[in-house]
Each structure stands twice: as structure tokens, then as C-alpha cells.
Amino acid sequence: MNSPFGKIEWNKYEASLLIEAYKNVEAGDITRENAISKLSIRLRNRMLIHGISIGETYRNTNGINLQMSAIEYCLTNGEKGCIKPSQLFRDMVLMYVTDEDKFKAILIEAKEMYPEPIKEYSYQEHECVSNILRESNVEHYRYLPRFRIILSQRFSKGFRLNSIIATKQFNRYYEELFGEELLIDNEELNATISSCGLVLDDKLYLHNYLLDDTLKMRLEVYIKEVFTEPNRYIFYEVLFNEFYAELLDSRIADKEMFAAYLRYCYDDKWYFNSHYFANIENVKIDSDEIVVNYILEQCAVVSEDDAIAAISYLPEDWVRQSFNRNNTVLITNGRGLRFHIDIFVITSDELNRIIQIIALGISKFGFIGADELMDDLKKQVPSVIENNSTISELGIRNALALKLSGQFSFNRSVISNIGENISAVDALLTFARSHDKYSLAEIDQLASTLGTVLNYHLESISKYSCRLDNNNFISNRLVEFDCDKIDDALSLCCDGDFMPLKDITNFASFPPCGHVWNLRLLESFLLIGSKMFKLLYGGYLNKNNISGTVVKCNSQFKSFDDVVIYALATSEIRLTKNDALDFLANEGYIVQRRFATIDNLLIKANELRNKLKD
């Protein structure tokens, strides 16, 4: 169709686009030449979309250049520009200056009416665009603008590529809008559509519809402010979180989509990496160096949260990882607290005295506990504590572990000779093995010093020590168990397959063993000496209370859970959680009224009870 007009006057929508182009040039976002060229293509493109033939002079670059001079004349009060502006231009400039909201509304409408031409792609660089586009005979300059109109009007939330349903809808919309059938096959159609915008997860989005102009402008202002300094970078995640509240109202669903949008819109302006983009090429980011240097600069103990807040230009996960993995320079001072090793104050003389203290402790017992070392420091080298008053005892211990790592082995709270790497349980067993007699209080204090709980290790300790009573241990070699006779005595007590340990109260039939029989001594025998019986209990032994069951080795009960299920099923209680826990505690199966697997055991107990009734 030929244009029915001779000279086509500028309208307010074109004028708004012209003003925007001039302001972008003035801001340094684009060269005047590029701005004029892009606007010319955009304005001419509208005519082509509607099938209107235009001449070479229609909105060409020369004409746009002259009209931009007119806009410049208005905006600079005649100081710049070279032609007299029309009344329309004067009115639009006045609106731009005095009524920003009204001008923006017209500009938004103008961008709908005059869509940007399709962004050119390098087919080698963008795999999402099929080679079909290069090889087909489709008149893309005609089709692409039309496709963009359909996508903007009917698929503003995205077009699912290679979807049979979406493709059929697209063909129908094309015929409705343009009055003609779309004569290209589906593969070619999808390939062409994929070049119209941003492709993410097999879905095509028109980038102009992902963010509104106001938010996009704010985003660009933020980025430009960051990039005012050289060698700067912005992480997609950080930028996404900064604008998170505003992005909730956009069509950008997540950080990945946001990153893809930024790359699509600004790929020719900035340098993009998998996690961030920068204002110069080949920016290298060392988060470890950044975090370590920050903590050193504070000259104090720093919390993980404070480091994250201070280094907000890095993603939170990056800061957390760098905060926690640099153990050779960032010393733990407590949960979520660290300090730089360089702020730890200690002289070579103090360090030598500490080496002597540790060596002496190891020579006596094969190890020294961290708490014991701290007690010795307070008495013999108090200056170390005083000169590091802002650092906790844990922090001082960890700093010393680093300083002396080449001379001693530090395994949590246990210090031993280099290469031995003794654990807390190793230390407790060493203590038990090397002592003929010791009290519960002594070994309990040692466990605490080693940073562990004695209950967890009582069964292991029984390999070397028997419990004489509630308060004392003795070496196994100092107790003479007649295993067969003791088992015979137990058989008299336990006429069934099992019984709670605490129900054994009469030891008259038990043979002499050199010590007075009691439940604690029997507990030890069941752990190390019995051939016919075993002690089953929940979790671990208890240093203060008797619990568990005496079970015949040849019975059907292989685990403590098996015993509990049978005991509950054959009891007369209601099989509810509270009643079951009360029963188990009162009968001596468990110490406290809690049991991790009680819900599951109740189900099995109920099934067994019903089975026994049948």
C-alpha cells in the first residue's frame, strides 16, 4: 500500500521518542549518530509493519537529525540547536519539563505504537536462534515486526517455543490481525519467534514487557552510579535483592531470569560473567581476599552477620563461605564469630612457656585437655589472657592451635604429640586404661574438659573399667567374675526372655567377685562378661541412673526396640504416647520420658497386641 500522504507531520508520540533519544545522548548513554539511526529505523518500521510503502526521505537520519536540533533548541532555551521548532515540539518539551507523569504516559504509549526493531543476533554466539533463520527464504524484515506485535498483544507473559498449542494460537492470531495466512512451517515459525527477544528455558520473552520503563530507568541509574568508579562489578543476585520488592510486580520471576534479562539488554554495553557483570573486561573477584582483609581491618572479633552486612556488594553465600573456610587466618571465637590471627598478641617467650606446659601434660597422660591448658595459662602465663581480653577462651585456644600446629596435634579439645591426633574418646580410654581406680567425678570432669559428654562413652570405657557402684570405677583386671555361675544366678532372676535391669534387687545367689554386688557392677558384667545374657538400652548408658533390660542371648529380641515393642504390646496400658513413655520410665526401660522412635514403636506394638489377641 502506498502512503496516502505527501509530507507526514510529526505527532506527539514520535516527539516523545525524539525527546527521549536526545536526553539519552545528553546523558552520554549513546552517541548522537546511533540514537538518530535507531530512532529512524524505529519510526520507519511502523509503516512497514502496516504494509505502507515509504520513500527514502521518510524519517530518515538526515530528517531526524534536523528535528533533534529543534528539540535541542527548545530544551536549551535557544542556546543550542539550529532550526525553529514547531508548536508541537514546544508543547511536548513543556510537558516534559512541567508534567513528567503525563509525558511518561505518552512515551509508554509511543513505545507500544512504535516497537523497537528486532535486536540483531550473532548466530554463532547465540545457540537459541536456529540456523533455519539464516537458510530460510522468509522475508524476516516483514515478518519480525508483525511477530513482535502478536507477541506483545497476545503473549506478553512469554511464548512457549515448540509448543503445538502455542504455535497454533500464534498462527490464528496472525491471521486475525493481518488478514492473511502465515505461510511458513512450524519449525521455521518457532525459529523466527526465538529471534524476537530473550529466550529462557524454552520460552520467548519480549524484554520490553519484563520491566516497566520507570523501574528500568531506576535500575540503570543504580548501575551507572556503581560504575562511576573504574574496575567495578555487580552481582546479579545482589542487584536482584536490591530491587526485590519492585521486581515482585514485574514479570521477572527469579534471579536467573533477571540475569538473562540484563545480559540481553546490555550485552553490548558491559561485560558479563556467569555470576556478575562489570564495567571493564576480565574482572577477577577474590571473595576470600575481600572477606579476610575486611576482618583484618576491623582489628576485632567480627560476627558473620556483620561481615555480610558490610560486604553487601558480594552475594551472602560468597561471604559466608569465605568467612568460614579460611581457617588458617580467620580464627573461630565462638558460633558465628571470627578474628584475624594477626590481632592475636603473643610473644615468643610466652609461646615457649606454653609449649613447655603442653609437653609436660602429654608426658604424664599422653595428652592434655584444652580446659586444663587454659587453667595453666591463667596461673603461669596470665599475660596471654590479659593481652587478648576481647578474645574468648575458645578463640585463644584456637589461635594457639594454629600457632603450634607444627609441634602438637590439636583434635578439638584434646592436645597430643604431633601425628597422634588423639580424640576425646581416645583420651578417656587412655585415662581408664592407665588408672586402676578413679571416681565418677574425675572422669566426668575429664570428659567435660575434653568437650564431650561422659554418657556417650560409658560403654567404651567398660572395656577397661568396671563400675563398682554409683561413684567409683576399678580396673577390670581387679575384678574376678565367675561368668558361668553369675549367668546361672541371672537365670534364676530372669525366668522370661528379658527383664528390666533395675528389677534385680536380690544378689544372694551371685558368686563372690571380690566386691559387693550391686546394679552398677552387674551392669558392667553384662557389658563385658556374660555368655548367656546381654544388656540392651536406648541410645546410651546414663552416669546417674540405671536403665535398660537384661535379655537372653538366645531369645528373639535382637534390639532394644524389639524389647520395647513386646513390653508395650503385652502391657495393660493404653497405647498412647504419654502412657507409653510413663510406662517405660516407671518400669526402668528408659531414664527420661522421651524416646525418639516412640511413635513408630507404638504402631508396631499395637499391631503385635492385635496379633496376640487372635
Q: Are 49 and 149 in contact (CB under 8 A)?
A: yes
Q: Are 545 and 533 in contact (CB under 8 A)?
A: no
For 61-101, what is each residue's pLDDT tens digit? 888 988 888 888 888 888 887 767 888 998 999 999 988 88
Q: Are 568 and 583 in contact (CB under 8 A)?
A: yes
Q: What is the pLDDT of residue 117?
A: 62
Q: What is the pLDDT of residue 120?
A: 42
Query: Is 80 exceeded by the pLDDT of residue 426?
Result: yes
Q: Are 563 and 549 in contact (CB under 8 A)?
A: yes
C-alpha cell at 133: 533463520
What type of residue is 510? F
The rounded distance, in Å, linking the Cα atoms of 417 and 402 is 15
* Average of per-residue pLDDT across 130-149: 58
C-alpha cell at 395: 578463640
CA-to-CA separations, 548 to 69, 134, 395, 560, 573, in angstroms, rounded: 95, 79, 40, 8, 20
Q: Taking the domains of the chain in order of start, what are their residue ranges?
A: 12-113, 143-209, 213-278, 287-342, 344-422, 476-613
Q: List all residues 6 or more positions away from 198 whose beta carbon is below 8 Å from its beta carbon.
A: 204, 205, 206, 207, 210, 260, 261, 264
Query: Is 80 exceeded by the pLDDT of residue 40?
Result: yes
Q: Are 3 and 53 in contact (CB under 8 A)?
A: yes
CA angle (112, 264, 185) in 5-degree steps = 70
Q: What is the pLDDT of residue 461?
A: 95
CB atoms < 10 A from the CB of 474, how many?
Answer: 20
Q: What is the pLDDT of residue 49?
A: 66
Describe the crossing of helices 87-98 and 12-26 by its angle, rounded to 10 degrees.
Answer: 60
More reliable by pLDDT, 402 or 153: 402
Query: Is 90 exceeded by the pLDDT of residue 333?
Result: yes
C-alpha cell at 301: 572479633
Q: Provide the pLDDT confidence category of residue 392 given band limits of 50, 70 and 90.
A: very high
The rounded distance, in Å, linking the Cα atoms of 504 and 521 is 12
Query: Is 70 exceeded by the pLDDT of residue 125?
Result: no
Q: What is the average pLDDT score of the chain?
A: 88
Q: What is the pLDDT of residue 50?
A: 63
More reliable by pLDDT, 596 or 53: 596
Q: Provide the pLDDT confidence category of residue 414 given band limits of 50, 70 and 90.
A: confident
Candidate from 5-14, 242-251, 447-456 with smallest mean pLDDT: 5-14
Query: Taking the domain 287-342, which CATH number applies?
Result: 1.10.10
| End-to-end CA gap in the chain | 93
C-alpha cell at 188: 521455521
* Average of per-residue pLDDT across 440-464: 91
The rounded distance, in Å, linking the Cα atoms of 492 and 532 is 12
C-alpha cell at 235: 552481582
Query: Is 70 exceeded by the pLDDT of residue 430?
Result: yes
Q: What is the pLDDT of residue 74?
A: 87
Share of the chain above pLDDT 90, in %: 56
Q: What is the pLDDT of residue 51?
A: 64
Q: List all residues 6 or more positions away from 196 whose beta carbon is below 8 Å from its beta carbon.
A: 118, 144, 147, 148, 151, 204, 206
For 480-511, what is each residue's pLDDT tens digit? 999 999 999 999 999 899 999 999 999 999 99
Q: Are 395 and 406 in contact (CB under 8 A)?
A: no
For 41-55, what is each residue's pLDDT tens digit? 888 887 776 667 777
Q: List all residues 6 or more positions away from 242 whose beta carbon is below 8 Å from its beta carbon.
A: 222
For 199-211, what is each residue's pLDDT tens digit? 988 999 988 888 8
Query: Is 60 exceeded by the pLDDT of residue 603?
Result: yes
Query: Is 70 exceeded by the pLDDT of residue 139?
Result: no
The rounded distance, in Å, linking the Cα atoms of 58 and 101 is 30
The rounded distance, in Å, linking the Cα atoms of 59 and 8 is 9
Query: Is 70 exceeded by the pLDDT of residue 123?
Result: no
What type of residue is 536? L
The rounded distance, in Å, linking the Cα atoms of 288 and 545 is 50
Stated as kind and residue range, the H or E segment containing 327 is none
Q: What is the pLDDT of residue 114?
A: 83
Architecture of domain 344-422: Orthogonal Bundle (1.10)
| DSSP letter assigned to residue 513 | -
For 524-580, what is each residue's pLDDT tens digit? 999 999 999 999 999 889 999 999 999 999 999 999 999 999 999 999 999 999 999
Selection from 570, 574, 580, 571 nearest residue 601 by Cα: 580
Question: SS3 for 198?
Answer: strand
Query: Is 50 exceeded by the pLDDT of residue 2?
Result: no
* Average of per-residue pLDDT across 429-439: 91
* Average of per-residue pLDDT across 117-143: 45
Q: Are 59 and 43 in contact (CB under 8 A)?
A: yes
Q: What is the pLDDT of residue 124?
A: 39
More reliable by pLDDT, 404 or 145: 404
Q: What is the pLDDT of residue 428?
A: 92
* Average of per-residue pLDDT across 265-272: 88
pTM, entire model: 0.60
Q: Are 405 and 436 in contact (CB under 8 A)?
A: no
Q: What is the pLDDT of residue 142?
A: 60
- Is 154 exposed, middle or buried, given 0-12, 13-18 or 19+ CB atoms closer than 10 A? middle
CA-to-CA separations, 598 to 551, 578, 593, 604, in angstroms, rounded: 20, 10, 10, 10
* Average of per-residue pLDDT across 304-313: 95
CA angle (267, 269, 271) in 5-degree steps = 65
Q: What is the pLDDT of residue 398?
A: 93
E strand residue ranges, 135-224: 159-160, 198-200, 203-205
Rg (CA), the chain: 41
* Average of per-residue pLDDT across 579-583: 95
Query: Is 70 exceeded by the pLDDT of residue 4?
Result: no
Q: Are 129 and 192 in contact (CB under 8 A)?
A: no
E strand residue ranges, 533-605: 533-536, 549-552
Q: What does residue 5 show for φ and ψ, rounded to 5 degrees? A: -105, 155
- β-sheet bridge partners, residue 339: 331
Q: Provide the pLDDT confidence category of residue 126 given band limits of 50, 70 and 90.
A: very low
Q: Are 176 and 146 in contact (CB under 8 A)?
A: no
* Average of per-residue pLDDT across 230-234: 84
Q: List all residues 6 or more positions away from 603 whose beta carbon is below 8 Å from its beta carbon.
A: none
Q: Provide the pLDDT confidence category of residue 122 given band limits of 50, 70 and 90.
A: very low
| Topology alike, domains 287-342 and 344-422 | yes
